[in-house]
Amino acid sequence: MAHVIRSICIVGGGTAGWLTAGIIAARHRSEDGHGIRIKLIESDTIGTIGVGEGTWPTMRTTLKRMGISETDFFRECNTSFKQGAKFARWVTGDPADFYYHPLVLPEGFPSLDLASAWMEYSEQRQGAPSFSNAVSYQEALCELGLAPKLITSPEYAGIANYAYHLDAGRFVSFIRDHCVNRLGVDHVVDDVTRVIRSETGDIAYLETSKSGQLDGDLFIDCSGFRSLLLGETMGVPFVDCSDVLFIDRALAVQVPYDAEDSDIVPHTVSTAQKHGWIWDIGLQSRRGVGYVFSSSHTTADAALDELQAYVGEKHRALQPREIKIHAGHRRTFWQGNCVAVGLAGGFLEPLEASALVLIELSAEMIGAMMPATRETMDIIAKRFNETTQYRWDRIIDFLKLHYILSKREDSRFWIDNRAPASIPDSLKEQIELWRYRAPGDQDFTSNNEMFPAASYQYVLFGMGFRMDTSEREPNRHARAVEQAFARNESLKAKWTKTLPNNRHLISKIREFGLQRI
């Protein structure tokens, strides 16, 4: 007789646990008692990491599917808008050195190749606009501190594409309440003392301090870096990626605004330092700032000096929290009846905010491919592992791309990052192709791509990458390309005059709310 999958046990709360619970519960109607039963066990004695505050635009769809009001989300989670990332001092280290990775695609993408035309134009004229400014109006919005939508825009709809900055601690509490009160997730506050496996190697049940035995048909490991189920119990080894990505430490601090009405920067700011980089994220009531660095290239004291210099003398007394980062992931992510999501499956540095989106994608895939029986679970696990491994590989390539294009020579950190031995072969092959043409959809053929070709274009050409266009045929779409550039300038002029200041809009959302869908 088939073993029907009727219940899920999630070990660990935090963002990974509760987001996973919410995504699966919303899809499988857990709240009405007829769908998959979900229980989540979390300890009240084990803290969460909780420093990641940047999302991808995918979070809008995730929250909407979970039935969460965007107005409530802004009111309860210290939320602000994120329209991309500004990378400062990554190329030369000079004060004027910056480029953007916006969330709005280049005008006419992907049918038009604006990259080649922009490169030819910029080579002929001094003071030509940056690539992102020439092909997307969003850099102008960010530079002016504008919001991506109007107060009349419905919830989750925008003029410009956007994601969020959020307070991780408040976010966990917010989605926990929603999962328990609206989506029917059973919340167990307890400590797991022992994990019991069956004769087949599956997890049979958990022993706890106060709640006795907790069973489940599928166990989801959201226990953080410890990886209690997949790592410790199932024995899945860890794949170290520190030979490619050197960042292994973070100093994180919360910086108050100088005044209540200080501007909220509508994008993540990533400022390169001598041995790593500093993130700067503007929330409603504070900034989240942190220095991620390589301990093989500097000391924690030296990194602290750089961080203090960044936040300024006024905030010098703030005491940062130190976090150790072990760059890498588990060899497989789903083994037997156990699957890891979040830090239990792995972690890389927070450049490009890929951690939260991996949680979303993993939970969505588990929910969409939920095996009907234990007998079919291994087929689902195989597909999940292949897809998730592919996603990790692409994230590693994309993060490494930022480092190998830098021209900084002020420390071994930047020089070592360009060493050929540290660059994945898959990235080397792409770079060789892109010497003669811009990244396009033909370079990314999987349905599970993490970053569109446009993202690679923004980083490549933002960091000064040059293509050899000497043998290129005349552009048969020259007229359409000119029209696309002109259309972008028109949109830039329109929306820079129309869209509100970022803080002003957020204040209006808190006071009046957005139109409910």
CB 255 within 8 A of CB 315: yes
Task: Calculate Rg over the CA atoms of the chain.
Answer: 23
**How many C-beta atoms lie closer than 10 Å to residue 476's C-beta?**
8
**Nearest alpha-carbon partner for 186 in 31, 341, 28:** 31
Q: Which residues pair with residue 239 across a beta bridge?
A: 329
CB 37 within 8 A of CB 186: yes
The DSSP 8-state label assigned to residue 201 in this structure reads S
Whole-number pLDDT of residue 349: 94
Whole-number pLDDT of residue 51: 54
Query: CA 451 → CA 178, 399, 487, distances in Å?
Result: 30, 11, 25
CB 147 within 8 A of CB 153: no
Q: Which two tokens stand for residue 394?
A: 């692409």
Beta carbons within 8 Å of 359's beta carbon, 6+ residues apart: 15, 16, 19, 20, 341, 342
Question: Can you give the pTM of this predicted structure?
Answer: 0.96
* Tens of each residue's pLDDT in the chain, 517 residues: 679 999 999 999 999 999 999 999 999 986 666 779 999 999 988 766 555 589 999 999 999 999 999 999 999 999 999 999 999 999 999 999 999 999 999 999 998 989 988 988 877 777 779 999 999 999 999 999 999 999 999 999 999 999 999 999 999 999 999 999 999 999 999 999 999 999 999 999 999 999 999 999 999 999 999 999 999 999 999 999 999 999 999 999 999 999 999 999 999 999 999 999 999 999 999 999 999 999 999 999 999 999 999 999 999 889 999 999 999 999 999 999 999 999 999 999 999 999 999 999 999 999 999 999 999 999 999 999 999 999 999 999 999 999 999 999 999 999 999 999 999 999 999 999 999 999 998 999 888 899 999 999 999 999 999 998 776 666 667 889 999 999 999 999 999 999 999 999 999 999 999 988 6
Whole-number pLDDT of residue 297: 98
Q: Tokens 């071994």 identify what position?
A: 412
Q: Which residues pair with residue 90 across a beta bridge?
A: none
Whole-number pLDDT of residue 52: 54
Whole-number pLDDT of residue 446: 87
Q: Which two tokens stand for residue 281?
A: 């994220």
Q: Which domains does the chain have, with CATH numbers?
A: 7-53+173-240+327-392 (3.50.50.60), 249-324 (3.30.70)
Whole-number pLDDT of residue 471: 66
427-454 b/e with 16+ CB inside 10 Å = b?
beebbeebeebbbbeeebeeeeebbebb
**Nearest alpha-carbon partner for 58 in 302, 349, 353:** 353
Q: Which two tokens stand for residue 347?
A: 């972690």
46-81 b/e with 16+ CB inside 10 Å = b?
eebbbbbbbbbbebbebbeebebbbbebbbbbbbbb
Whole-number pLDDT of residue 32: 67
